Amino acid sequence: MQYRQFGQLDFKVSALGFGAMRLPTVNDEINEAEATRMLRYAIDHGVNYVDTAYPYHRGTSEEFLGRALQDGYREKVKLATKMPSWEIETSDDFDKYLNIQLERLQLDAVDFYLLHSLNKKWWPKLRDLGVLDWAERAIAAGRFCHLGFSFHDDYETFERILNDYDGWAMCQIQYNYMDVENQAGVKGLRYAASKGLAVVVMEPLLGGKLVAPPPSIQAVWDSAAKKRTPAAWALQWVWDQPEVSVVLSGMSTMAQVEENVALASASGIGVLTEEELALYDQVRRKYRELTVIPCTKCGYCMPCPQDIDIPGNFAAYNDGITFDKPDAARGLYEWWKYAYEVQGNFDHDIRAANCIQCGECEAKCPQGIPISKWMPVIHQALGENGPYVTQLE
């Protein structure tokens, strides 16, 4: 196993981290015997960072790890879990949820405690409730060792969160060769590293979308002198960058664990040649050629009077076609509904379903996209399992 520096901490982390969000299941419950076998195989082969969170597997991921890390395995890893930011209403909730999580994990303390999925809505709320002072008291009391956060929003919000506190030990961002300008992006990766934070990367395979590319993409990889699987190309691109501390993989089969452990053991910083790096540019272009709706995410169409996330809906629809993953796009669309109606993540329902075809956005779109016509098409495809179309009638 290859090891890398974890920010400014006195800790060498394995190149591969074990993410406990996509464990194998039977009848929608964690297959504990197989998941334990997978986890312990990874640790036995050098993985020393394990990541979970309060909601993973409907709250059972932490309980599983509490059992699976028995028999001396807890002492072999650093363990991270995450506060459910969306559940916090008062400052008393900080201890409430940490107590629940430590009980689930059968621990008195965790190594890393992250504020989960920070964005422009939840970060000000947690900050103003005093989460930073609370965290420092919890660290002093030995309840966890280091504070961090995971992130899903734009770069400006990411920078604001970093600058609001000097005590962050680490951050967790979505990052892969297709997300160089999305969310924190490469700019955020480098900024966090420049401030001394360890950077934990999630979604290096874009939720599995980069594992089985269409023929036009596979042809680019096949043209390389050195042969790699699509997963290997994606993972090595992230490992190639010195600012990355550890790459998380949410593995659901033993074969995935074995493959990723082997890839991590052969990984390195700066090992990709200029010719190989140029292939990633070709792949990005090929993927973008598969895009149906020519949205550039400029945001000129926003804000929508109905509070629809127009670029977000376009991106979900495009991804379903580009990566041949319509069910993943439909899952995201359904999650938006759940996040609004149940979790309260959003103040408004951001789905295309709420478009009233007012046309205000179309006058602002520099690409001339007939947004009002696309919105019901998107809702039919993503919200009602209707057909995908590649052009309007």
Q: Which residues are bridge partners to 173 per DSSP? A: 151, 201
Checking if the pLDDT of 248 tops 90, the result is: yes
User: Cα dihedral sign for 366, 372, 373, 379?
Assistant: positive
Distance separating alpha carbons of residues 192 and 181, to the nearest angstrom: 15
Distance separating alpha carbons of residues 170 and 83, to the nearest angstrom: 15
- How confident is the model at residue 174, as a pLDDT? 92
Cβ partners under 8 Å of residue 261, min gap 6: 1, 16, 41, 42, 45, 46, 47
- How confident is the model at residue 251, as a pLDDT? 92
pLDDT (tens digit, 9 = 90+) per residue, 214-235? 899 999 999 999 999 999 999 9
Q: Which two tokens stand for residue 128?
A: 């103003």
Q: Is the peptide bond before 24 cis (omega within 30 degrees of 0)?
A: no
| Residue range 42-59: mean pLDDT, rounded | 95
Beta 25-26 vs 29-30: how paired, if at all? antiparallel
- How confident is the model at residue 355, as a pLDDT? 94
- How confident is the model at residue 368, as a pLDDT? 86
- How confident is the model at residue 340, as a pLDDT? 85
Confidence category of residue 258, pLDDT binned at 50, 70, 90: very high
Read off φ and ψ for residue 116, nearest 5 degrees: -80, 130
* Cα–Cα nearest to 60, from 107, 25, 89, 111: 25
Cβ atoms < 10 Å from Cβ of 223? 10
Distance separating alpha carbons of residues 217 and 205, to the nearest angstrom: 15
In the block, which residue shows the tokens 């195989």? 41
Are 310 and 361 in contact by the 8 Å Cβ rule? The answer is: yes
pLDDT (tens digit, 9 = 90+) per residue, 335-350? 999 888 887 777 889 9
Distance separating alpha carbons of residues 37 and 27, to the nearest angstrom: 19
| Residue range 294-321: mean pLDDT, rounded | 88
The full set of domains in the chain, from first to last, is 3-280 (3.20.20.100), 310-383 (no CATH)
Mean of the per-residue pLDDT values of the chain: 93
Q: Which two tokens stand for residue 209?
A: 């979308």
User: Where are the extended beta strands (E) located within the chain?
Assistant: 3-5, 12-14, 16-19, 25-26, 29-30, 49-51, 78-83, 110-118, 144-151, 170-174, 198-202, 246-249
Lowest-confidence segment of 15-19, 44-48, 113-117, 317-321 by average pLDDT: 317-321
Give the global pTM: 0.83
* Cα–Cα nearest to 209, from 290, 276, 298, 152: 290
- How confident is the model at residue 390, as a pLDDT? 82
* Cα–Cα nearest to 300, from 221, 218, 360, 390: 360
- How confident is the model at residue 224, as a pLDDT? 95
Q: What percent of the chain has pLDDT over 90?
A: 77
User: Cα dihedral sign for 321, 322, 325, 329?
Assistant: negative
pLDDT (tens digit, 9 = 90+) per residue, 54-88? 999 989 999 999 999 999 999 999 999 999 998 99
Are 114 and 82 in contact by the 8 Å Cβ rule? The answer is: yes
Q: Which two tokens stand for residue 369?
A: 């996209």
pLDDT (tens digit, 9 = 90+) per residue, 133-186? 999 999 999 999 999 999 988 999 999 999 999 999 999 999 999 999 888 999
Lowest-confidence segment of 56-60, 141-145, 204-208, 249-253 by average pLDDT: 204-208
Distance separating alpha carbons of residues 314 and 374, to the nearest angstrom: 9
Are 150 and 118 in contact by the 8 Å Cβ rule? The answer is: yes
Checking if the pLDDT of 212 tops 90, the result is: no
Lowest-confidence segment of 19-23, 292-296, 306-310 by average pLDDT: 292-296
